[in-house]
């Protein structure tokens, strides 16, 4: 093999075996490969661009009951950060160009342009050419998620990790915060560093506050950045369910059990009264049933159903994004396509075919064996 991707292969892995699992894609006329599922201990989302390896962002465990999970996971100081609800992006500079990789390792044309515009990262990459910025792209106008943050008008990029691009080794939390401050990069909210015992109460307080503000949750990290643990608010469990049951035959089944159990363990850990559990139950039920009813009505009325997003940018970026989605097999329904000064603003729906087709089938008298 001519390429040197040495760091990817441990002694037991046959390089050809691993490479076979990578898919080939193109970006601006350049071929690259990416791994859509974890293989041989290599993270999902790992990409190969020419000779350069860009490691995937590792998936992190979730706590269902905070106190024992923190105790079991950490034996030293714990940093607590806000967990933002957007999409995971890794930014690397390769041959002089910034490239933005989504979770599964695609170079997204829209995200690449946005981070070019949002970040002033040249000096960071001049000083850290072999590192990548890992962050969450959030805000109401993006093509993947739709969580609103009052402080963000369009989109923002918040760094939660700086890692060595090829080995994936994280920078420690303090140093990362310092680098973000030095280079003027926005960082996710940092709530301080605690002993494991103190972290339990600190995390609970933060969760109460974030829940009241409809925000997602916290990530706890060891100070070397190696170990992470996530925990989420009731508000986001309901928001996830609402989203899933807007498209019940696409997402409903996968979402419901996990979110119901997160709610159940949370109610128990908080020692909630019967009245508080009743309230939780009512809100949970509403989050499931109401969007499903609305969707069935929408299909009945012949309206498109799916995830609707608005994006704005220069016309080329927006048309590249729409082609990129269509190339991935998505059916798009464009609701609005306007020009705002130099920018093209498009609202489109990623058509949820299962939900549309199954709902039509049942509305038309189709039956089910159950």
285-344 residues near ligand ATP, rule: CB under 6 A: none
Q: Which is nearer to ligand ATP, 57 or 245 (CB)?
A: 57
DSSP 8: G
Q: Which residues contact 281 (CB under 8 A, 6 or more apart)?
A: none
Q: Which is nearer to ligand ATP, 250 or 320 (CB)?
A: 250
Q: Which is nearer to ligand ATP, 217 or 304 (CB)?
A: 217
Among 59, 145, 227, 353, binds ligand ATP (CB under 6 A): 59
Smallest gap from Cβ 134 to ligand ATP, in A, equals: 8
Smallest gap from Cβ 228 to ligand ATP, in A, equals: 6
Cβ(77)–Cβ(193) below 8 Å: yes
Among 230, 243, 270, 333, binds ligand ATP (CB under 6 A): 230
261 lies in the site for ligand ATP, by CB under 6 A:
no
Residue 124 has which token pair? 């960071």
Smallest gap from Cβ 61 to ligand ATP, in A, equals: 8
Give the integer Cα–Cα distance in Å for 295 and 286: 14
Total chain residues near ligand ATP (CB under 6 A): 12
Cβ(229)–Cβ(62) below 8 Å: yes
240 lies in the site for ligand ATP, by CB under 6 A:
no
Cβ(223)–Cβ(81) below 8 Å: no
1-40 residues near ligand ATP, rule: CB under 6 A: none
Cβ(355)–Cβ(291) below 8 Å: no
Strands 30-35 and 156-164, sheet pairing = unpaired
DSSP 39: B
136 lies in the site for ligand ATP, by CB under 6 A:
yes
Which range binds ligand ATP by CB under 6 A, 8-16, 56-64, 90-98, 284-292?
Answer: 56-64
Which of 351, 344, 349 has the alpha carbon at shortest distance from 318? 344
Q: Which is nearer to ligand ATP, 260 or 298 (CB)?
A: 260
State how far Cα 130 lies from the chain centre. Answer: 23
- Which residue is associated with the tokens 């991935």? 328
- Secondary structure of residue 304 in the 3-state scheme: coil
185-224 residues near ligand ATP, rule: CB under 6 A: 188, 219
Q: Where does this chain bind ligand ATP (CB under 6 A)? A: 57, 59-60, 81, 83-84, 88, 136, 160, 188, 219, 230
């Amino acid at each position: 093999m001519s390429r040197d991707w040495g760091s990817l292969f441990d002694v037991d892995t046959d390089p050809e075996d691993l490479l076979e699992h990578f898919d080939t894609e193109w970006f601006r006329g350049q071929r690259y490969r990416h791994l859509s599922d974890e293989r041989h201990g290599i993270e999902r989302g790992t990409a190969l661009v020419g000779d350069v390896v860009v490691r995937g962002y590792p998936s992190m465990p979730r706590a269902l009951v905070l106190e024992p999970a923190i105790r079991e996971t950490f034996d030293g100081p714990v940093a607590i950060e806000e967990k933002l609800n957007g999409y995971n992006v890794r930014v690397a500079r390769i041959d002089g160009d910034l490239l933005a990789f989504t979770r599964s390792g695609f170079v997204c044309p829209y995200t690449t342009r946005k981070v070019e515009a949002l970040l002033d990262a040249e000096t960071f990459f001049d000083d850290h050419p072999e590192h990548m910025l890992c962050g969450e792209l959030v805000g109401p106008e993006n093509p993947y998620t739709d969580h609103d943050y009052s402080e963000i008008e369009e989109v923002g990029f918040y760094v939660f990790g700086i890692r060595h691009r090829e080995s994936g080794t994280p920078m420690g939390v303090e140093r990362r915060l310092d680098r973000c401050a030095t280079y003027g990069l926005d960082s996710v909210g940092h709530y301080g560093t605690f002993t494991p015992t103190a972290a339990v109460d600190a995390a609970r307080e933060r969760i109460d506050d974030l829940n009241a503000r409809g925000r997602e949750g916290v990530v706890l990290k060891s100070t070397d950045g190696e170990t992470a643990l996530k925990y989420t608010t009731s508000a986001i469990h309901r928001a996830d369910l609402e989203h899933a049951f807007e498209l019940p035959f696409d997402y409903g089944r996968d979402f419901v059990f996990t979110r119901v159990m997160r709610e159940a363990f949370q109610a128990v850990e908080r020692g909630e009264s019967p009245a508080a559990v009743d309230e939780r139950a009512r809100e949970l039920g509403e989050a499931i049933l109401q969007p499903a009813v609305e969707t069935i009505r929408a299909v009945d009325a012949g309206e498109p159903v799916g995830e609707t997003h608005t994006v704005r940018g220069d016309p080329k970026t927006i048309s590249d994004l729409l082609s990129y989605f269509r190339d991935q097999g998505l059916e798009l329904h464009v609701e609005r396509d306007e020009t705002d000064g130099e920018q093209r603003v498009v609202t489109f729906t990623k058509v949820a075919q299962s939900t549309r087709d199954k709902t039509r089938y049942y509305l038309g008298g189709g039956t089910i064996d159950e």
